[in-house]
Structure 1
Amino acid sequence: MPSKTPKQAEKAVPASATRTSASRPVDGGRDYDARNLLVLEGLEAVRKRPAMYIGSTDTRGLMHCLWEIIDNAVDEALIGYGEKITIALNADGSLTVADTARGIPVDIEPRTGLSGVEVVYTKLHAGGKFGTGSYNAAGGLHGVGASVVNALSARLDVEVDRNSATWGMSFHRGTPGTFDGPGPDARFTPGGSLQKLKRAKKGVTGTRVTWWPDPLIFGPDMSLAPEELSNRARQTSFLIPGLELQITDARGADPVTETHRHDGGISEFCEFLAPDQPVTEVLRLQGNDSFTETVPMLDEETGAMLPTDVDRDVEIDIALRWGTGYDTVTRSFVNIIATPKGGTHVNGYERALTKTVNKALSSTRLLKNGEEITKDDALEGLTTVVTVRLAEPQFEGQTKEVLGTPAVSRLVAKVVESELGGFLSSNKAADKQQSRVVLEKVAAAMRTRLTARAQKEAQRRKTALESSSLPAKLRDCRSNDVDRTELFIVEGDSALGTAKDARSSEFQALFPIRGKILNTQRASIGDMLKNAECANLIQVVGAGSGRSFDLDAARYGKIIFMADADADGAHIRCLLATLFFRYMRPLIDAGRVYTAVPPLHRFELKNPKKGQEKYLYTYSDNEYQRTAAELTKKGIRFDDPQRYKGLGEMDASQLAETTMDPRHRLLRRITVDDGAAAEQVFEMLMGNDVVPRKEFLVDGAYRLDAEQIDA
């Protein structure tokens, strides 16, 4: 759904200002010496640029912090220590993660003179996962997770059960010290070290961490995503058979607890993920191998970084099964850390899968001479979980979304070719029957693809003969530069007239629609194509629709919905978003679909100060209140502000200045962070089933503040 982003194009800097800064330094430019240099000590860099370490400071960043701490406990379970992890979302806004693993070391680290707990929570790039032998395979390899969470917390308390004692330590925004009471608002005294709190039973070990996210970083109203937490906890329980993860949410009136434990491993995970009925049993492709990696290491004698060969062991475990459907589901992990954007392990798997199936098909009569399947043919209806475990994997960035270790691709491909090839060529009766069904399914997918391509080419030729021009209502632009061009989809012919005078015809095209288009969530593909508005929109975009959509063929770099700022306009934008989501989805995935944000109010100043604009525009009720208050405070008089109900109330110059000019306008980009969740939302709001939509509307009605209705 639409999400508010920074202004698509900031106000342009005047050319004169640019020339001045380039030709001569500003005042003080010559006063540049050592005292102008800023040195960020310890964790200051994390607080200065938190997004560099956790991706963002919104809900996603907050969830990343939680999983940094959970992953430390999971890494212990991964190597056999600890069978239970408890996660609590406490009523006071704090978060607690507890495990029954070995516990953070409490003895003194010789080089720093600090306890192991203080080193882990105050030193960046410190930990036991840098090839010291404590962890052969772990997700948190950068050594910044715990210390980053500490730096971004108003308060963090650590308790460690180890050596028959319970040890404790507290921090305030990364600084060790003591609090004189509970919670982050208690008085804090800097200084102090790890303290022995009490005796513990012999043999009892583990770590408990409680922290309050800093509202200065995340904002006071930022909250976690319980559903995302539950999904990932379930995922982790699949990846580590026998590990129990318990989540308690105590923020509501009644605490809610859920427990995840799955002893079937990734075979059970594969069955859980599969959206269709099985064609084969779950196949496990497993193997161990090693490779030599050259990494720079510090020579303590010379102080130089010398290339050193290091042997790496790799464990490969893949679960897959073909189903009756057509959708492909692939989940990949490195040391149980999800890699949603894949990487070398997924590349090796897909390459070997295609090669192995092609080789098996060549020994049958299912393919004609010269025919070959593609990766998409082999993946049709296939659900796969790819996991690899190795020490010190190379990730792209701290968020670990892509594996970059090159040698893993070759090793995964080797295991897949050996194990899957053995299954497809097996003489066992059960295996032989299943492999035959798989090969027939893949061959059918190839024939369907070739038939669809032939029909597509024929339809293109037919369309070219039948229609030699674009829809007459389109007001096209002159430029052919796709990266620069923009298509405004305008509500109504009346708004088109104003927009035609307001646009820059060099790169901005206009296409009007007559009110509310067809709801494509309910309609069939045939009904959608018969609808003139939908068919014309697809023709204007010029890239096809559905599975045949070709993003590179799109005629415009940006698609912008421009409708009135009222309920009908919102409905039109929703209908357009539904059309693009269902039939031109790659445009949304590429971030090329936007909604224009016209202003809601205009202030006309009676006595503007020198250099001040005569007209001011506001885009929300809150901004309107702030602007009115500021003008009144400064003694600037203004007429009763105008409330725009539609685009037709603005003349061309106003529309250009506020909504179409890239130097001043505000756009909202339509994005999809979670495709499955987006599908559910569109189905609920726009689909045929009335009951969920009614429940959503009734629930929203009870939560609506009637005072906020602008009527």
Structure 2
Amino acid sequence: MSGESTGYDAADIEVLEGREAIRKRPGMWVGSTGERGLHQMVFEVVGRAVNQVLVGGSGSRNGNGSGNTSGSGRGSGFVDVTLTSDGGVRVADDGPGRPFEAAGESGGPDLEALLTSFHAGPELSGRDITDVGQFRAGLFVVNALSSRLTAEVRGEGGRRVHEYARGVEVAPPAAVGSATGSGTTIAFWPDSEIFETTRCSFSVLAERFRQVAFLNRGLGISLTDERPTGGARAVSFRFPEGVRDFVAALDAERGSGVQPDVVGFEREDPRMAGTMEVALLWTGSREERILGFANSRATREGGTHVDGFRDGVAAAVIAYARDRGLPGADLDPRDGRICRSLMAVVSVKLDHPEFLGATRGLLGNTDVRDCVGEAVREHLGDWFEERPERASEFVDRIVRGIHQD
């Protein structure tokens, strides 16, 4: 290497911090400055709202414009998302309403800290976190990349509002009136100086919110679009049966035209420090569709929860065939064709999820495989015992399909 000076030293290093760093390199924080990054902004705010209502319980719906959906029968709370006619996004929840200046009962950071600092720390952790977006950047990133943001907190009979412009406080939090119930509303306007487009896709957001509602039983999410000139459009999601409803909906989209016979269960297992919710359906086709999720994040590459599911199905099928003297007792439990005609959703929520790979689409927690496999084997085995005719039909179909290959 030449001994000549390169002319580059510490004096040439530019150190960016806080909101300046976010605005200088927005793609590092939300993925892109296109539509994908815009949607990540929405998912950041919606994710916080979802976690608040799931952990804090639902409050009473108030009449201050936070939403237009009836508050009856909401179970685990409600999140209202509105795409406003002036290009903004408003996200309202009926959670506990975290104060601006003081930590809540959980000891977590106050809302002002979340909006203005990377160092505030997470509000929630572990299985309490529902990942709506592909990653978590935080409210500070949303604030810094918005031309304007307002946060409203309702609680103790009053409403307080804090306003920012490009991440900088416009005025201190101020009381603006009375309110019933509790909750938080965050409205933001993505900065057109940063983003190539500030127009969100209604269909993309609706599909993800529907999925999140499936994966969090009883949670309600609505999406209203005030932008169309012909009038607003809206959708609302709540699924009391969780992933059972998810599998039934997937089957309906397939166009089977029959009432699905969905097998489903939920279990907590301390060995994997988390819970699992599983639903499955034999479709009669030769195609397999198994969707895996960890803390509501899609694991498109699979992982230990999906591997455990396959193990459990194979063990239950082979055990039933052996006990009943049916063909199939000699099947190889590692034969992937056993699950070929299955449609299933495998959702786990873990205190310490371990994702592998750059895209974090593969779950790696080793304990999860045995826990899910054992639970699936037990519950599917019980279902077989309760429905021997259906069980024999499924086992025979699996064996015949493998022998025909």
2:55 is the counterpart of 1:60: no
Equivalent in the alignment of 1:84: 78
2:111 is the counterpart of 1:117: yes
Deviation at 1:432, TM superposition (A): 0.8
Q: Distance between the aligned counterparts of 1:40 and 1:398, measured in 2? A: 25
Aligned length: 377
Deviation at 1:103, TM superposition (A): 1.4
Deviation at 1:93, TM superposition (A): 0.9
CA change 1:59–1:137 in 2 (3 A) is closer
Q: Equivalent of 1:150, from 140, 143, 166?
A: 143
Report the 3-state secondary structure (helix = DSSP H, G, I; strand = E; otherwise coil) of the residue aligned with 1:439. helix
Q: What amino acid maps onto 2:404 in structure 1?
A: T
**Does the Cα contact within 8 Å between 1:158 and 1:209 map onto a contact in 2?**
yes
Task: Map 1:176-215 onto structure 2 (within 5 A).
Answer: 177-178=169-170, 192-201=171-180, 204-215=181-192
Equivalent in the alignment of 2:310: 350
Q: Distance between the aligned counterparts of 2:286 and 2:259, measured in 1? A: 12
Equivalent in the alignment of 1:544: none
Equivalent in the alignment of 1:108: 102
CA change 1:374–1:390 in 2 (3 A) is closer
Deviation at 1:196, TM superposition (A): 2.6
Q: Distance between the aligned counterparts of 1:324 and 1:277, measured in 2? A: 13
Deviation at 1:88, TM superposition (A): 0.8
Deviation at 1:418, TM superposition (A): 2.1
Q: Equivalent of 1:285, from 265, 270, 279?
A: 265
Q: Distance between the aligned counterparts of 1:139 and 1:398, measured in 2? A: 17
**Does the Cα contact within 8 Å between 2:132 and 2:212 map onto a contact in 1?**
no
Q: Distance between the aligned counterparts of 2:357 and 2:189, measured in 1? A: 25
CA change 1:80–1:268 in 2 (3 A) is farther
**Does the Cα contact within 8 Å between 1:167 and 1:196 map onto a contact in 2?**
yes
Deviation at 1:109, TM superposition (A): 4.9
Equivalent in the alignment of 1:238: 214
Deviation at 1:71, TM superposition (A): 1.4
Structure 1: where are the runs of 5+ without partners?
1-21, 179-191, 292-311, 450-711
2:152 is the counterpart of 1:159: yes
Deviation at 1:143, TM superposition (A): 6.1
Q: Equivalent of 2:397, from 441, 452, 461?
A: 441
**Does the Cα contact within 8 Å between 1:243 and 1:261 map onto a contact in 2?**
yes
Q: Distance between the aligned counterparts of 1:260 and 1:322, measured in 2? A: 26
Deviation at 1:199, TM superposition (A): 3.0
2:306 is the counterpart of 1:329: no
Report the 3-state secondary structure (helix = DSSP H, G, I; strand = E; otherwise coil) of the residue aligned with 1:327. coil
Report the 3-state secondary structure (helix = DSSP H, G, I; strand = E; otherwise coil) of the residue aligned with 1:104. coil
Report the 3-state secondary structure (helix = DSSP H, G, I; strand = E; otherwise coil) of the residue aligned with 2:118. coil
Equivalent in the alignment of 1:416: 376
Report the 3-state secondary structure (helix = DSSP H, G, I; strand = E; otherwise coil) of the residue aligned with 1:340. coil
**Does the Cα contact within 8 Å between 2:311 and 2:333 map onto a contact in 1?**
no
Task: Map 1:253-332 onto structure 2 (within 5 A).
Answer: 253=229, 254-274=231-251, 275=254, 276=256, 281-291=261-271, 313-332=273-292
**Does the Cα contact within 8 Å between 2:53 and 2:96 map onto a contact in 1?**
no
Percentage of pairs with the same residue: 27
**Does the Cα contact within 8 Å between 1:138 and 1:392 map onto a contact in 2?**
no
Q: Distance between the aligned counterparts of 1:314 and 1:167, measured in 2? A: 36
Q: Distance between the aligned counterparts of 2:213 and 2:175, measured in 1? A: 33
Q: What amino acid maps onto 2:35 in structure 1?
A: T
Q: Distance between the aligned counterparts of 2:259 and 2:314, measured in 1? A: 18
Deviation at 1:222, TM superposition (A): 4.8
Map Cα deviations across residues 220-247 of structure 1 (whole Å, 9 max, x no partner): x353221121222222232333332221
2:124 is the counterpart of 1:129: yes
2:372 is the counterpart of 1:432: no
Aligned CA-pair RMSD: 3.0
Deviation at 1:255, TM superposition (A): 1.3
Report the 3-state secondary structure (helix = DSSP H, G, I; strand = E; otherwise coil) of the residue aligned with 2:338. helix
CA change 1:448–1:48 in 2 (3 A) is farther
Map Cα deviations across residues 335-376 of structure 1 (whole Å, 9 max, x no partner): 33333333322222123323433343444342486x536553
Q: What amino acid maps onto 2:364 in structure 1?
A: G
Task: Map 1:11-30 onto structure 2 (within 5 A).
Answer: 23=2, 29-30=6-7
Q: Equivalent of 1:168, from 161, 164, 168?
A: 161
Greater Cα radius of gyration, structure 1 or 2: 1
**Does the Cα contact within 8 Å between 1:277 and 1:324 map onto a contact in 2?**
no
**Does the Cα contact within 8 Å between 1:279 and 1:321 map onto a contact in 2?**
no
Q: What amino acid maps onto 1:443 in structure 2?
A: V
Q: Distance between the aligned counterparts of 2:223 and 2:357, measured in 1? A: 28
Report the 3-state secondary structure (helix = DSSP H, G, I; strand = E; otherwise coil) of the residue aligned with 1:218. coil
**Does the Cα contact within 8 Å between 1:279 and 1:323 map onto a contact in 2?**
no
Q: Distance between the aligned counterparts of 1:62 and 1:399, measured in 2? A: 19
**Does the Cα contact within 8 Å between 1:102 and 1:162 map onto a contact in 2?**
yes
Q: What amino acid maps onto 1:263 in structure 2?
A: P
Q: Equivalent of 2:320, from 335, 360, 372?
A: 360
Q: Distance between the aligned counterparts of 1:271 and 1:432, measured in 2? A: 22
What TM-score results when the alignment is normalised by the length of structure 2? 0.83
**Does the Cα contact within 8 Å between 1:282 and 1:320 map onto a contact in 2?**
yes
Equivalent in the alignment of 1:612: none
2:67 is the counterpart of 1:75: no
Q: Equivalent of 1:216, from 182, 189, 193?
A: 193
Q: Distance between the aligned counterparts of 1:397 and 1:140, measured in 2? A: 19
Q: What amino acid maps onto 1:288 in structure 2?
A: E
Q: Distance between the aligned counterparts of 1:336 and 1:349, measured in 2? A: 17
**Does the Cα contact within 8 Å between 2:219 and 2:239 map onto a contact in 1?**
yes
2:377 is the counterpart of 1:385: no
Q: Distance between the aligned counterparts of 1:162 and 1:327, measured in 2? A: 51
Report the 3-state secondary structure (helix = DSSP H, G, I; strand = E; otherwise coil) of the residue aligned with 1:419. helix
CA change 1:80–1:384 in 2 (3 A) is farther
Q: Distance between the aligned counterparts of 1:350 and 1:44, measured in 2? A: 48
**Does the Cα contact within 8 Å between 1:89 and 1:251 map onto a contact in 2?**
yes
2:92 is the counterpart of 1:98: yes
Report the 3-state secondary structure (helix = DSSP H, G, I; strand = E; otherwise coil) of the residue aligned with 1:108. coil
CA change 1:138–1:255 in 2 (3 A) is closer
Q: Distance between the aligned counterparts of 1:36 and 1:66, measured in 2? A: 36
CA change 1:40–1:80 in 2 (3 A) is same
Q: Distance between the aligned counterparts of 1:64 and 1:340, measured in 2? A: 18
Q: Distance between the aligned counterparts of 1:193 and 1:87, measured in 2? A: 25
Q: Distance between the aligned counterparts of 2:216 and 2:364, measured in 1? A: 23
2:365 is the counterpart of 1:405: yes
**Does the Cα contact within 8 Å between 1:159 and 1:166 map onto a contact in 2?**
yes
Equivalent in the alignment of 1:562: none
Report the 3-state secondary structure (helix = DSSP H, G, I; strand = E; otherwise coil) of the residue aligned with 2:159. strand
**Does the Cα contact within 8 Å between 2:53 and 2:94 map onto a contact in 1?**
no
Q: What amino acid maps onto 1:271 in structure 2?
A: A
- More displaced, 137-146 or 58-67? 137-146
Higher relative contact order (CA 8 A, sep 6+): 2
